Structure 1
Amino acid sequence: MPRSIWKGAISFGLVTIPVKLYSATEEKDISFRQVHPEDGGRIKYKRVCEKCGQEIPYAEIAKGYETPDGRLAILEKEDFEALPLATTKAVEVVQFVAEGEVDPTYFAKTYFLQADGPGVKPYVLLRDALLQSEQCAVVKVALRSREAMALIRPKEGVLLMHTMLWPDELRDGAFAAPPAEVTVSDAEVKMAQSFIDALSGEFHPEEFTDSYREALEQVVQSKLSGVEMEAAPEVESEAEVVDLVAALRASVEAAKKRREEAKESKAV
């Protein structure tokens, strides 16, 4: 069982729900070390003070905030622990909203909430109330030295908490929008919808795999075993698309063919 990363309580009106917080996700990637290629020795970094030139142990390093006029405020661990924030050990419910009202762009990280000790019954109360009302709780919580908005929602018997970015942390994407004078015809839109229909279906994430990580693992094993890998097949470069309708029609046919092949392979 994973270790909890935070303990506190959800304030649900006058009801207090003691909870533990666990990370709900883990990134699975191949990690590399920086090494000297001639002898395989690891490359190490030293934390050196630019003024005195001394190497400083990690435990003795403090955080400093430099103001625009050059003044430096040095903050110690005790300063962060003494922050005048009510949310450091409490999850404060500030609003209830329908899940669809929150733009997924706001979501940062997902956590499991587990009832702690006497918090089991009020935990179940909040979970079932959210389920039956089809609502989610917007909360404020302080995690990892910063306060965040978050969304609490029930899923498969558990309360999930999605930490969220603040509105001023979302960039304005207007620069990426195509020019207003660029338009498409009804025929092009209908053919695009045909392609969407051809690939529409229920979302089953377990059917997808990380092809890049799998290929990288093969390269690593090839290096360790000393056996050269077969050369990857060359991908034919596609011609420039001139007729969108014709290109989409071909895409629809290819999508249908892939689906038929996938069904046949499952049936075997």
Structure 2
Amino acid sequence: MRTIWKGALTFGLVNVPVKVYSATEDHDVPLHQVHAADGGRIRYQRICELDGEVVPYADIDKAYDDGERTVVLTADDIASLPAERSREIEVVEFVPSDQIDLLTLDKAYYLEPDSTSPKAYVLLRQTLEQTDRTAIVRFSLRQKTRLAALRVRGDVLVLQTLLWADEVREPAFPALDEPVKISAKELELSASLVESFSGDFDPDQFVDEYQHELRTLIDAKLKKGDALDTAETFGEQAEKDAGGEVIDLMAALKASVERSRAARAESAGDDGARGAEASDTASKTAKGARPAKGAKPGTKAKKAS
């Protein structure tokens, strides 16, 4: 994992140096837009409205427009803000963990101790565990002041950003304003149905069914030869990243295809087939599929193996 930020957790006189890492990653199949008629790659460019020229990312600044005037804010202007310069994750209070509304949870980050001795880090972790408290912290990251919940996951401290109170919409559904009468029998049957689907949650039983089907579709089209020539589709253009390194797009594409083929070859076989069948069963269960025909309410659902 790559460090995205360094700073220090502070509460009272305690200072805990930490490194911050993204705790999650995206595994979606990367797709591009192409011209339906000939498969030509469609690209987006940053074009200045005044001179019509393509503007390099390094030459782009931010601006605020109040309708009459425009204020340009350079990268140096942004970096000069006191909150942006701060490298502290300040604990503002410790609250009961059950008071954190799951709706407000946002991006998660792992914190690693950044000192020769992790004693202060371990002390804070054990204190949160024993008191069943979550620390509410405030810090700045990527040009935003953020509120976050600091909690424990295994042996690691996790920082999970929270939405601000005014970012959570209040639901207003007229249909729920009318009184609804639920009979005892209906509630009993509903509880029986819940019990029939009861089990211990195991996230490894579930897969992203759409991404799996998308990869299967792509592989099938490649196998049938129903594909366009990559060089003609994407061109021979080399792109540069923010650091100025030239990326050989063709080489990257070929390497990706080879790696994908190798991974599929390793996962092939009876074990792979059984795993796919189990994942499919678990996915259907997750969608709230009805019990099989003839199943009686109250019957314990079998876990996918």
Q: How does 1:122-137 map to 2 (within 5 A)?
A: 122-137=120-135
Match of 2:149 among 144, 148, 151: 151
Tell me by how many angstroms 1:63 deviates.
0.5
Give 1:197 shift.
1.2
**Partner Cα separation in structure 2 for residue 205 and residue 72 of structure 1:** 49
TM-score in terms of structure 1 length: 0.82
> Could you tell me how far apart the structure 2 residues matched to 1:37 and 1:48 are?
24
Aligned to 1:164: 162
User: Is 1:253 aligned to 2:277, yes or no?
Assistant: no
Matched letter for residue 107 of structure 2: K
Is 2:10 aligned against 1:7? no
Deviation at 1:55, TM superposition (A): 1.5
Counterparts in 2 of 1:39-78, with a 5 A limit?
Answer: 39-67=38-66, 69-78=67-76
Matched residue of 2:127: which SS? helix
- The separation in 1 between residues aligned to 2:224 and 2:292, in whole angstroms, is 46
What 5-or-longer segments of structure 2 have no aligned partner? 227-289
On the 8 A contact 1:88/1:143 being kept in 2, the answer is no
Equivalent in 91, 104, 107 of residue 105 of structure 2: 107
| 3-state SS of 1:190 partner | helix
The 5-angstrom pairing of residues 166-205 of structure 1 reads 166-175=164-173, 178-205=176-203
User: In structure 2, what is the Cα distance between the partners aligned to 1:254 and 1:226?
Assistant: 46
Specify the code of the residue in structure 2 equivalent to 1:187.
K
Conserved 8 A contact 1:149-1:165? yes
Measured after TM superposition, the shift of residue 136 of structure 1 is: 1.1
Residue equivalent to 2:229? none
Residue range with higher mean Cα deviation, 34-43 or 196-205: 34-43
> 5+ residue gaps in structure 1?
229-246
The CA deviation at 1:78 is 0.9
Q: State the alpha-carbon separation in 1 of the partners of residues 294 and 136 from structure 2.
A: 42
Amino acid at match of 1:149: L
Q: Which residue of structure 2 lines up, in the alignment, with residue 25 of structure 1?
A: 24
Task: Measure, in 1, the Cα distance between the counterparts of 2:15 and 2:294.
Answer: 55
Alpha-carbon distance change, 252 to 95 in structure 1, aligned in 2, over 3 angstroms: farther
Deviations 1:12-42, CA, capped at 9 Å, x for gaps: 2101111000001112211101123444332
Partner in structure 2 of residue 239 of structure 1: none
Question: Structure 1, residues 133-158: CA drift from partner, whole Å, max 9, x if none?
Answer: 11111000111110110011112110
Partners of 1:108 and 1:177 in 2: how far apart? 29
**Identity score, percent:** 38
Aligned to 2:220: 222
- Residues 76-97 of structure 1 deviation map (CA, whole Å, 9 limit, x = unaligned): 1111111122873100000001
Aligned partner letter, 2:99: E
- Cα separation, 1, equivalents of 2:95 and 2:294: 40
Q: Compute the TM-score of the two structures, normalised by the length of structure 2.
A: 0.73
How many residue pairs end up in the alignment? 242
CA distance in 2 between counterparts of 1:104 and 1:130 reads 18
